[in-house]
Structure 1
Amino acid sequence: KPNPFHHDNFHYNADEDYYVCPMGQHMRRIGTARSKTASGYRSESARYRAQNCKGCPLRCLCYKAKGDQRTIEVNHRLNEYKRKARELLTSEEGLKHRGRRCIEPEAVFGQMKFNMAYRRFRHFGKDKVTMDFAFFAIAFNIKKMCSKIAKQTKNGGNTPLFGLYMLLSRILHLENRIFWKNPRKSVA
């Protein structure tokens, strides 16, 4: 980030566990702050405080809070994750994958999010989210295949998958009829 007064741009001495502000003052660790998000995720941030900011010529640029000691909170675990992600993204293989990203998956994710309103997972937990997305992906691919076969059939072409298309269309039509006669509550 271009802001020299943001704590991400301060020099950090990992051996002695302190930050150095733009004026060269050491910011010592004063404790740990724990927080919990609405979804239940717990995070831990280290708190660092400068000795004295009174009379500092950069104080008005550095922070606007009352008091003579600037305090920052740093989540070291999050910073480590960001560092690893940055290394992977800027590696040779990461650059190759990022170059293909705009071509391959972006259009599909756009259709999923905008056209089919699939913006959130409906379950919690890694295995349940995997299952949720797998079912959605299967349904998405079947829908795509059916529309492709229908388009080929409409244009007069006979496809080897025409029988599969007819079977799927009967099943889906029957399923819709059953659902509308006996509506059930969703389990999600």
Structure 2
Amino acid sequence: MHMKYDYYNHTNVFKPGYNVQMGSSNGYIRHIYVSGDANDRNTYIPFMEGYHRAYGCFPRKTPADAGYGSYDNYCYCKEHDIELYMKYNTMHKEQEKVTDKNRFRSYRMKPDEEGNIYCPQGHTFTLEQTKESVKGRYPRTIQFYRNEHCEGCPLRSQCAQSKHGRTLQRTDKVAEMQIEVRENLLTETGQELLKQQSIQAEGIFGQIKQDQEYDRLWRRKETMVKLELLLVSIGHNLRKYHTHRMQKQKTNQKNHS
């Protein structure tokens, strides 16, 4: 991918950019992945496959922010017995208070106990068709709903953009996995993992970029960039190990004194 070098002056000069993924545990960098893809969702599976090649196994839990929560990534976790702790893009919005602005969002319109979906005006959606999609890594079944009561509805201008009325798309399997994600993250383990994910992942990038003043890549092409980042990661892990060892020695000296 590329990023604009001089956005405000419109010189049309671009610089190359790389999407850097790092997996950490106990403050140590365990694995890295470099990609030219700007979308984090597309980097999760290649990252995990690289991790598996390096260690011969998959981690049990991989907490991550909403940029990684997708149908394919969740299915990949299910396939390899990885517990679901990755947020999805509407998770925090679903927990917000219902307002006049957000009550028309699709994530607010979910099936009730009887499987009926209602619009903000209280009208039921009708299932029009079901299709099998094979666009991603894992096939999915998509249900297409339409509300047949939009004509003359006083809320239509706020709710429906199409002249044919309000439509919805749902995948039951996605909804089930999102429920599992929410339940997992609400547990004590989930809260601790989110806390550590924020501290470790963001902390490592902060230490490398701010403390070590490494805020740009000096090499080009993915193979050379990966080599450079491997050296940076080794340096980080050595500093981490040395700091941990010195702290342990000081603690032992205090206990013996």
In 2, Cα distance between equivalents of 1:52 and 1:145: 61
In 2, Cα distance between equivalents of 1:34 and 1:12: 20
SS of residue matched to 2:199: coil
Letter in 1 for 2:196: R
Letter in 2 for 1:104: Q
- Once the two structures are TM-superposed, the CA of residue 63 in structure 1 deviates from its matched residue by 1.2
1:25 aligns with 2:133: no
In 1, Cα distance between equivalents of 2:238 and 2:112: 59
Deviations 1:52-101 (A, max 9, x none): 2111000000111112x322111121111111111111222211222232
* Larger RCO (CA under 8 A, 6+ residues apart): 2
Equivalent residue for 2:194?
98
The answer to whether the Cα contact below 8 Å between 1:18 and 1:48 also exists between their aligned partners in 2 is no
In 2, Cα distance between equivalents of 1:149 and 1:52: 65
In 1, Cα distance between equivalents of 2:195 and 2:239: 29
RMSD of aligned residue pairs (Cα, Å): 3.8
- Once the two structures are TM-superposed, the CA of residue 105 in structure 1 deviates from its matched residue by 3.2
Aligned mate of 2:112, from 2, 13, 17: 13
**Cα–Cα, structure 1 residues 53 and 146, in superposed 2: closer, same or farther, change >3 Å?**
closer
1:4 aligns with 2:103: yes
1:66 aligns with 2:140: no
Letter in 1 for 2:163: K
- Once the two structures are TM-superposed, the CA of residue 144 in structure 1 deviates from its matched residue by 4.2
Higher normalized helix content (fraction of residues): 1
- Once the two structures are TM-superposed, the CA of residue 141 in structure 1 deviates from its matched residue by 6.3
The structure with the larger Rg is: 1
Deviations 1:86-144 (A, max 9, x none): 111122221122223232233336759x7679xxxx9xxxxxxxxxxxxxxx9876554
Deviations 1:24-77 (A, max 9, x none): 11112222133233x54322211112222111000000111112x322111121
Equivalent residue for 1:41?
138
**Cα–Cα, structure 1 residues 79 and 116, in superposed 2: closer, same or farther, change >3 Å?**
farther
Q: TM-score, normalised by structure 2?
A: 0.41
Identical-residue share of aligned pairs (%): 26
Q: TM-score, normalised by structure 1?
A: 0.54
In 2, Cα distance between equivalents of 1:23 and 1:106: 43
